[in-house]
């Protein structure tokens, strides 16, 4: 499975590509950061993020895109830019029919470091070890994007099994089978039996 992890941001948007599967060594394919100038209008900054993400998806042809879930912070201006960048990323992937998964920061930290409260340095160190890199990916946004991809590969496999089980159970309910139609389930008619 090849996953593009994206740590969205209006000023710095981290990108990382990881390939692998559960129980097998992971391979880093690429990483980088889209940097947009603060003096540009927001619309132009979002266009730049769209252009670069579009190029990355063309080059790397991922099976999935993992995006950090936006959560409320104290700085509303920062969270708005992050949410806008996140939306652009999801639209670019959806346009291609690539599945998009959202992962919380604590979920990603726990996945790569074992602790949902790990700091950026700990996450970067674990990403470096897990991907067997000689140096830690810089800047931190790139390391975070790689961590998102790793998280999705490890957690996404389990989620895919759950989704598959749900999908295979769905034909029972779609054909009219329900808990009431099982033998012995009975139906209520409103009549009391003696």
Catalytic positions are 7, 68, 141
Burial bucket for residue 62 (CB in 10 Å: 0-12, 13-18, 19+): buried
The answer to whether residues 170 and 155 touch, using CB atoms and an 8 Å cutoff, is no
Shortest CA distance to 85 belongs to which of 43, 32, 117?
A: 43
Tell me the residue ranges of DSSP E strands in the chain: 2-7, 12-19, 27-35, 64-68, 100-103
Q: Measured between alpha carbons, how far is 141 from 12 in angstroms, rounded to an integer?
A: 7
């Amino acid at each position: 499975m090849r996953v593009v992890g994206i740590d969205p941001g209006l000023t710095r948007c981290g990108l990382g590509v990881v390939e692998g599967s559960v129980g097998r060594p992971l391979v880093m394919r690429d990483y980088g950061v889209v940097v947009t100038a603060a003096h540009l209008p927001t619309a132009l900054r979002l266009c730049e993020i769209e252009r670069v993400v579009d190029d990355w998806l063309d080059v790397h042809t991922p099976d999935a895109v993992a995006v950090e879930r936006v959560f409320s912070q104290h700085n509303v201006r920062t969270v708005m830019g992050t949410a806008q960048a996140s939306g652009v990323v999801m639209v670019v992937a959806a346009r291609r029919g690539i599945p998009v998964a959202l992962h919380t920061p604590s979920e990603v930290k726990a996945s790569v470091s074992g602790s949902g409260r790990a700091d950026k340095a700990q996450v970067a160190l674990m990403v470096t070890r897990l991907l067997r890199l000689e140096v830690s990916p810089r800047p931190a946004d790139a390391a975070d994007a790689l961590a998102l991809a790793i998280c999705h590969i490890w957690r996404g496999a389990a989620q895919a099994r759950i989704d598959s089980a749900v999908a295979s159970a769905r034909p029972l309910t779609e054909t009219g089978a329900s808990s009431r139609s099982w033998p012995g389930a009975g139906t209520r008619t409103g009549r009391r039996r003696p």
